[in-house]
Structure 1
Amino acid sequence: MTAPLPLPESFALTWRGYDREQVDERIDELLAEIRLLTADRDAAVTEAENLARRLERARAEHAELSARIDRLCHTPADPAAVSDRVRHLLGLAHAEADGIVATARERAAAIVREAEAAADRRTADARAHAYRIVDDARRRADRLASIERRTADRLRQIDAFLADAESLLDEQAPLRAVA
């Protein structure tokens, strides 16, 4: 699991600024959402890994069954020890067995292809979902950073305005006393 994007713990307090509790609550909400999205992404990646392991087990089982079929079908009876009729029946049985083996291999290959395709789709879906989650979290973090920059700019403008106002008031104070 990757750590969420770092966000400031709090904002500086200024005169006529934002409500600190409100800003802290919003940041806490966004951090909780990022943690939730990260957990979702991690769960999707885990699911994809589980599917990959299941596919590998299915492949191993397929290889084992293919080897058993090959052993059973390639152990022919000794044709010299049987009569012509039995030899003919044995030839028909071998031909039928070869057909069954070919059909079984085709079906097994189709099942493996389907399992691989399903695993690939699930893996791709999980990755796409994870990327969307990360992209969404980054966009939200960028928006928060942008809001923080705009807020800091506004606060600087307000401070400058107040300083100008105080300066003007300090200059005008003696005039009022004289009048």
Structure 2
Amino acid sequence: MTAPLTLPESFALTFRGYDREQVDERLEELVAEIRLLTADRDAAVAEAGHLARQLEQARADHAELTARTDRLCRTPADPAAVGDRVRHLLELAHGEAEEVVAAARDQAAAIVREAEEAARQRTADARAQAYRIVDDARRRADRLAEIGRRTADRLRRIDAFLADAEGVLEEQAPLRAVA
């Protein structure tokens, strides 16, 4: 820890100088802040040292474990190099491992078959639904087209009726003027 800055206890008063109390209060605030910052820095330095020691220990542990793993991996258990009892245990372990692998393969194949069947069923369901949607859309389009044809036919009849009505009104207009 470094010593905090030494600041003068007070300033000399001068003509047109600063207010002594304000300067003293500000200096006290600054000294308190410097003390806090110094304490924070010292705590951070201590924590960094602690973390560095932990890192070095972790690196040493890692190196030891890596060396141990390498040693174990380089010397696999050879059934011929061990006793009959250990050899029998190794053979049993290999047999059991083969059974576990075979069972896992069978289970994986069953899962794949189920997934493929589910995918086929979903595809068939989606296709059927798409056909239903298309058929519904065609029926609606046909109904709308029929409604459009009927509406157009009614409009033509209404136009013809209106044209006839206008013709009758035009013929009757001169008769009214005479009467």
Scaled by the length of structure 2, the TM-score of the pair is: 0.45
* TM-score normalized with structure 1 length: 0.45
Q: Higher relative CO (CA 8 A, sep ≥ 6), structure 1 or 2?
A: 1
Larger Rg: 2
